[in-house]
Amino acid sequence: MKVLHFFKTYWPDTFGGVERTIHAIAQSTASRGIETEVLSLSRAPNENTQHLDGHMARKAKLDFELASTGFSFEVFRNFGALARKADLIHYHFPWPLMDMVHFQSRHGKPTVVTYHSDIVKQRLLLPLYRPLMLRFLRDVDAIVATSPDYLKSSPVLRALEGKSAIIPIGINETDYPTPTEADNRWCQAAVTEPFVLFVGVLRYYKGLDVLIQAADKVRCKIVIAGSGPIEERLKLQAKTLRRNNVIFLGEVAERHKMALLHNCLGFVFPSNQRSEAYGLSLVEAAMCGKPMISCEIGTGTSYVNKAGETGLVVPPSDPGRLAEAINQVVDSPVEAANWGRAARDRYVRLFTADRMGKAYAELYHQLDNRRR
């Protein structure tokens, strides 16, 4: 069975959460007879059209971007040609151009949408897009929410619950390097005291400004690994507030990231806006058996990190409560270890790539059989 995934960005151009999810679906469905192609936009389509880990990443020329939306003239033609050869189309929402391409192509193939997030940042433009968005979502055959929490909290998904399924995003443990002694020595040299860890792209919705505010009440180091649009602003905030226990490591190699995960006391994920729809970094922490701290924002973060079972969930944008939660992990090692073991068990039970791939393959075949 041939499946065409369609999203605005994909490897090797970008490596965000949606891209990682598409890659994991492609890999985890391959053993179940699914042949994957991915179509996305690129500023250098000829260079970046290539085979990636057993599937084909195809590119159309990115002409311009507006309000975080990539536009392309040739993608209409490229999509039409690839859709004719596919047995099923797998869309990744949101991307308004995708909706237009879908209706223009009239491909007639079974369709599934993975609903990664509501429209959050571009709220002012949403009224203009909403008619097309709703027409598109009503037209597809199935919609996948990535957690039951998001299905319940999204007004768009609640209105379409009848055609919605839940398939949590999973990751494959064998894709991650096991830290060597040299990696652990690097970690111990980089951070010489006990620490909690954040890993991710430094974006506005990650709540890292709140974490920095909380740092003066925290009884350990706070390590922030990653880079992103607000990196310099966060560094200036930490310097101005004299939060000397906050350590910025910048972008780290994958093996160093795993060393940090294995050596930290716990994982802190203070995202405070619904733009954080799931939190793959939380799944990585759970995979490593780490207690987690996150915020209740009505999204998948509270599905991955189950309050009181795998860690602590606190109100968003509350430096005091965030500091208390971190200190509870620091001061209660037995309790923290129990949370870490439960997090690992929950990963094995719910968040493996194999489990995700099996669910998607079954959905693909159901839709294909229904159409036939």
**pLDDT tens, residue by residue, 217-261:** 999 999 999 999 999 999 999 999 999 999 999 999 999 999 999
Amino acid 124: pLDDT: 67
Same fold? 2-172+352-371, 173-350: yes
Q: Identify the burial level of 296 via C-beta atoms within 10 angstroms of its C-beta, where 0-12 means exposed, 13-18 middle and 19 or more buried.
A: middle
Percentage of the chain beyond pLDDT 90 is 94
In the predicted model, what is the mean pLDDT of the chain? 96
Could you tell me the pLDDT band of residue 342, with boundaries at 50, 70 and 90? Answer: very high
Could you tell me the pLDDT band of residue 299, with boundaries at 50, 70 and 90? Answer: very high
Could you tell me the pLDDT band of residue 370, with boundaries at 50, 70 and 90? Answer: confident
Q: Is the pLDDT of residue 372 over 70?
A: no
pTM: 0.93
Task: Name 115's Cβ contacts closer than 8 Å, sequence gap at least 6.
Answer: 93, 143, 144, 145, 146, 150, 154, 156, 157, 164
Amino acid 336: pLDDT: 98
Average pLDDT over residues 299-303: 98
Average pLDDT over residues 260-271: 98
Q: Which two tokens stand for residue 363?
A: 């959905």
The residue extents of the domains of the chain are 2-172+352-371, 173-350
- Rounded to whole angstroms, what are the CA distances from 163 to 113, 114, 136, 146? 10, 12, 13, 14
Average pLDDT over residues 60-77: 93
CATH superfamily of 173-350: Glycogen Phosphorylase B; (3.40.50.2000)
Provide the pairing of β-strand 2-6 with 246-250: unpaired
Q: Which two tokens stand for residue 173?
A: 């443990």
Residues 154-168: pLDDT tens digits? 999 999 999 999 999
Average pLDDT over residues 178-185: 97
- CATH number for domain 2-172+352-371, candidates 3.40.50.2000, 3.30.70.370, 3.40.50.970, 3.40.50.300: 3.40.50.2000
Q: Is the pLDDT of residue 122 over 90?
A: no
